[in-house]
Each structure stands twice: as C-alpha cells, then as structure tokens.
Amino acid sequence: MALLCRQMLRVNAFRAMVVSTARRGFADKMMADPMEHATGLERKELLALQSGNDDPFNMKIIKKAAGTRDSPTLVPSCFDARIVGCICDEHSTSITWLWLHKGHPRRCECGHWYKLTEKTPL
C-alpha cells in the first residue's frame, strides 16, 4: 500500500511540474484585444462605445420633458414605429404602453405627448 501511495505522489508531482502554466511560459501573456475577435454587430457596438456613444441601442430610460403638444418628449428610433411605455404617475404601479409612428405625435392617457425622431442605425 505504501508503495502504491508513493508511486501516485511521484506521478502527480511530475504532472504538476510538466503541466503547470507558469512552467510552460503562458503565465505572462494576456488576452488579446476584444476588437481583434469581434465581428458583426458586436464590433459595431464596441466601435460605438469607443467613439463615446454609451447607449448604441437606445436602451436607456428617457425622462419625460414638458410633454406638451407644441414640445413633445422626443423618442429616437431607427424604424418607422416604436412602442413606448409611460409611467403616468410617480407612484403608479402600472405602465401605459403606446405605439409611436413617424410624423404623428401621440398623447398618453396622462396627458404627456411623445414624438418619434429619426436616428441613424448602427
């Protein structure tokens, strides 16, 4: 039994020495730049982030402005229509959803107006 344990310890110590990343010289290398590997939409997103556009897909919340008919809250979109959710009251527990179409301002039930504006796609 002692012979078997000694042999296992010797084999495991040898494996640890041979397979160690520090022993092979890979411990000093870092991962490559993500821009070298990125393609397609991911590459466009990384380029937009580098150029200073921190919201390339318009996912951030748009704060309501005055929201009158003369100066509606502007909602950017790359398409002809977009669905918008309005939290009408500060203490509201529900969201009022409405479709916005290009060129037609729309009024929510609470009285706020929204208008779709054109944005260039990524």
Residue 59 lies in a domain: no
User: Distance between CA atoms of 46 and 43, rounded to whole angstroms?
Assistant: 5
CATH number at residue 105: 2.60.11.10
Residue 63 lies in a domain: no
Residue 67 lies in a domain: no
5 marked as part of a ligand binding site: no
**79 lies in the same domain as 112:** yes
User: Are 46 and 35 contacting, i.e. CB atoms less than 8 angstroms apart?
Assistant: yes
Residue 60 lies in a domain: no
Tell me what pLDDT residue 49 has.
92
- Structural domains of the chain, count: 2
Residue 36 lies in a domain: yes
Domain of residue 114: give its range: 73-118
110 marked as part of a ligand binding site: yes
Tell me what pLDDT residue 28 has.
64
Provide φ and ψ at 116, rounded to 5°.
-85, 130
Residue 84 lies in a domain: yes
Checking if the pLDDT of 5 tops 90, the result is: no
Residue 32 lies in a domain: yes
Residue 10 parent element (H or E) = helix 2-19
Q: If pLDDT is split at 50, 70 and 90, which confidence band does 95 have?
A: very high
